[in-house]
Chains A and B, each alone.
Chain A
Amino acid sequence: MTDSAQKHSVVMQGIVGSHGACVARSYVFRKRIEVKQTPLADDQVNAEIERLETAIKMTAADIQNFREVAKQRHGEQYAAIFDSHLLMLEDPQFKPRMIKRLKEEKVNVESIVRDIVDKLQSVFSAIEDPYLRERAIDIKDVGDRLLRHLMGLEGPATEIGDEPYVLVAQEVTPSEILDFARGNLKGVCLDTGGATSHVAILAGALGIPSIFGLVNFSLGVHTGDLVLLDTRESCKLILNPKESEISDLNEELKEDFSESLKSDITADGFKLNIAANIARTEELCFLEKLNIKRIGLFRSEFVFMESMDVPSEKFQCDVYSKVVSAASELTVLRTIDIGSDKPLRYLPLGTEENPAMGFRSVRFSLSRPDILEPQLRAMIKAAQFGNCIIIFPMVSVPSELAAIKDLYDRVISELKPKIIPEWGIMLEVPSACFILDEIAAYTKYISIGTNDLLQFFYAIDRTNEKLAGLVDHMSSAFLRMLYKTVKKANKLGIKVGICGEMAADPVGFIALLGIGIEDFSMRPAAIDRIMSIIPKLNRKEVTEIIDMHLGDVSDSDVREIIKHKFLS
């Protein structure tokens, strides 16, 4: 660590995307495949041309494959996008020009491909028409694919060995993150993005810390620089950390849950239901790994966000069926939560001043039965494969309940399924806490999304790092609201589950247990930690303490009380 000792340690500000801590060397991903130019001997030129021909054939086969997938999932008109990629490969300005220059310049073909692609990209980047300017990306895509075949690279992550590393980049796509995760990925630092991005959720699913919105951070980091990330409680990012900072963190991280007793039964014999929040079928492997039988939240919008067009009912049904079949006890499927904050490229919704409070979630989906109805049909069909509840996000007024019921009943009467799954709502807008009587007339299942509920309760944007210090799910105001809501809901016979970040925080988890929650759903990476705490807790004792501090109007610091009583 001699090199880091010589460098200044730099502390950075960003937005937490997912929680965790690590210290590792950075890998800076510049989204560009770098190529060295090497001269060729005269007799090597023909072999080099042959190499180019082979790589072009392989690239064409790749694109053909993508084309087929796009056609099957979304129809011919989307497959046509890949036609333009194929035509680029066959373009007279592409291969013929490469071969011509190879013969003239006698250098390795990679350097020629790199140069031609760069030049084409810069020509396109200069076009005035914004649509055509965007095509620079398509050229890059084709160029990168060709370079990967020439250089034997599999994906963006191939330059990474087995060493643990932190990915530093301006931006990455979800598929790139999954590719990087095949290596020993320990953390992610991005210049762009926010806590609700795809990549944040994927990083959470991978159980690694991520920090976004770092502006120009990636420009100042070199591959190999040490980085320390700690987003467990705050947002800490240190470039070139001091020896003492590294050893302190390593000491803390030694705490390992693999050896400790894990259970979903409390010390006084009370069984809790622990479930995972997931967004993709790839994450279903966590069920077995963590020995859990429930998915407490399936975020169906990802099926939509990763498609080129509204996914077909059949395609959705296949995905949901896989999910429902994998969780033997229960799956909670959530209908799409999209809007101008989580846009779909094929459904432009315009920009809004306040997207988080805008035309999104159930507000959007109820206005689009052409999208919501097929989704419900797909979910109800999938529900025939296991125990399943379908929930609607962001309900805030009683009229939405009536609209959901109408639609739901209509779909059920059309489908006439053998098993009619229960439907429920997500409680994530404070107004819903005050219409529990109305809610009880429609449904007996509520899932509390603590992240949004907290942000709307305090009117604090959870992605704004300047305000991060003001919000806390352990504040008495928020705890009191949860306490009253859960007590009232239970009295009305409504079952309340939790699917927000609060359930993944040990202190928050204990508070929720004391408030009376039995169903907890959280990101997979948090489950081991929570399951190692449960067998040490006496539910009766936790409940008494919470009743004492929240039942009356007191200003107790519940976080400190819980830490001191149960976690020390």
Chain B
Amino acid sequence: MKRKEVEIKNKLGLHARPASLVVKMASKYQSEIQLIKEDTEINAKSILGVMMLAAGPGQKIVVTADGEDESDAVQSISELIESGFGEELA
């Protein structure tokens, strides 16, 4: 299993559009992918889960992946989140 801590950079946090992007990216991988914020752990392939995580700007979350393509999955999802989704940064 791979894991990486990332910070939410964009001003609005993981709202609907970024959440869609995360889910779409996660769905490309075979691995089971989770996002963890404090003691909440959600399935990164679930838009409802990602939005319910309610991760705001400046907050740190952990991306974990377990499966054949776990390294690539953690890498690309972390990059996506840290890029700020091309939105205004906090």
Contacts and interface: CB of A to CB of B under 8 A. Distances in A.
Given A81-B17, A84-B19, A135-B16, A91 B47 contact: yes
Interface in A302-351: none
A88 B23 CA distance: 10
Interface stretch (B51-59, B61-69, B70-78): B51-59
Interface in A69-110: 80-81, 83-84, 87-88, 91-94
> Chain A binding site: helix, strand, loop or mixed by DSSP?
helix
Given A80-B17, A83-B20, A93 B48 contact: yes
A80 B54 contact: no
A131 to B, nearest CB: 5
Contact of B23 (A81, A87, A135): A87
A81 B52 contact: no
A46 B40 CA distance: 35
A135 B45 contact: no
Given A93-B46, A131-B12, A132-B15, A84 B56 contact: no
Contacts of B16: 81, 84, 135, 138
A127 interface: yes
A92 B24 CA distance: 13
A2 to B, nearest CB: 50
A253 interface: no
A131 B52 contact: no
A101 to B, nearest CB: 16
B35 to A, nearest CB: 14
Nearest to B23: A87
A422 to B, nearest CB: 43
Contact of B54 (A84, A92, A128, A138): A128
B52 A84 contact: no
A124 B17 contact: no
A128 B24 CA distance: 25
B46 A124 contact: no
A132 B47 contact: no
Contact of A87 (B12, B20, B54, B56): B20
Contact of A88 (B12, B43, B45, B47): B47
A120 B48 contact: yes
Interface string B1-34: 0000000000011011101100110000000000
Interface residues of B, number: 19
A555 interface: no
Nearest to A94: B48
A91 B48 contact: yes
B52 A124 contact: yes
A93 B20 contact: no
B59 to A, nearest CB: 11
A131 B15 contact: yes
A219 interface: no
A124 B54 CA distance: 9
Given A129-B56, A132-B51, A135-B51, A91 B46 contact: yes
A123 interface: yes
A525 to B, nearest CB: 40
A92 B45 contact: yes
Nearest to B43: A92
A146 to B, nearest CB: 14
Nearest to A120: B48
7 contacts: A81-B17, A84-B47, A92-B43, A92-B49, A127-B52, A131-B12, A131-B13
Interface of A: 80-81, 83-84, 87-88, 91-94, 120, 123-124, 127-129, 131-132, 135, 138-139
Given A81-B16, A129-B54, 15 more contacts: A83-B20, A84-B20, A87-B20, A87-B47, A91-B46, A92-B45, A92-B46, A93-B48, A94-B48, A123-B52, A127-B52, A129-B13, A131-B12, A131-B13, A132-B13
